[in-house]
Amino acid sequence: MSDFILRLDDVHTDIAQYRILHGVSLDVPRGGVHVLLGRNGAGKTTTLRTIMGLWRARSGAVVLGHRDISAMHTSEIARLGVAYVPENMGIFGGLTVEENLRLAAGPAGFDPGRLKRIFTLFPAMEKFRDKSAWALSGGQKQMLAISRAIIEPRQLILIDEPTKGLAPAIIRAMIDAFRDIARETTILLVEQNFLFASSLGETVAVIDDGRIVHRGVMAELAADRDLQTRLLGLSLDAHH
């Protein structure tokens, strides 16, 4: 049997009076990068926030390893080794880069070895470690958000739209960094940039109107332009 780090079983999530997820079932294999795609408003962010306990599933189960986390608070889920990098990055603009990292590491402080690894992945974090986060560029802020997620060992990292608004050179650097990070953990990635997603993803699921409508190997979807158009409304050439 395949080893899955995360399973969603018939998950329904409501936000106020609106029903957003309509029975999402999803298996995320352990290790590597796995991608959740879909049009705007399809339910991608709601899925991540439901996994993280920020929004509570009305029914269904969210299982981390062999543990049902559906009823857990976000802080409890984080203590199990799950990190979430939201689309708005979730950094503290009034703090320095180093202060942001120390806060993410918790009261025990960060391991110098992990800090060194972050500086290797993202040299800008070392260069600007004493600079206020609000003064960083968009790409540097995203690097800081991801650095906060990996300052401690995690078994699962949820990342929402990391390349949004970033320059191509920064995106290329992100690809290398994500590949390195995925050697020690599992990444569930929500991403609109199909070229970025397809260069990293091992498996892919497509969500539409709060339901999973496709599951498979990313390489197969990347090679099938007709399927891309049917599922996402765009061909590979349109995703830059």
pLDDT band for 239, please (50, 70, 90 cuts).
very low
pLDDT in tens, 125-152: 999 999 999 999 999 999 999 999 999 9
Residue 128 lies in a domain: no
Q: How confident is the model at residue 233 (pLDDT cuts 50, 70, 90)?
A: confident
Q: Quick check: is 31 in a domain?
A: yes
**Range of 206's domain?**
1-81+200-240
With respect to residue 223, please indicate whether it lies within any of the assigned structural domains. yes
Residue 39 has pLDDT above 60, yes or no: yes
User: Residue 162 in contact with residue 144, Cβ under 8 Å?
Assistant: no
> Which pLDDT does position 237 carry in this prediction?
44
- The band of 18, judged by pLDDT with boundaries at 50, 70 and 90, is very high
Cβ–Cβ contacts within 10 Å for residue 99, how many?
Answer: 15
In a domain, 16, yes or no: yes
Does residue 109 have a pLDDT over 80?
no
pTM above 0.85, yes or no: yes
Q: Looking at residue 2, what is its pLDDT?
A: 57
Checking if the pLDDT of 235 tops 60, the result is: no
* Residue 138 forms part of a structural domain: no
- Per the domain annotation, does 164 fall within a domain? no
Query: Is 28 inside any structural domain?
Result: yes
What local confidence, expressed as pLDDT, does residue 238 receive? Answer: 42
Total domains, the chain:
1
The predicted structure's pLDDT at residue 214: 97
Q: Residue 57's domain is classified under what CATH number?
A: 3.40.50.300
Give the per-residue pLDDT at 88: 87
Residue 190 lies in a domain: no
Condensed to tens digits (0 to 9), the pLDDT of residues 150-193 reads 999 999 999 999 999 899 999 999 999 999 999 999 999 999 99
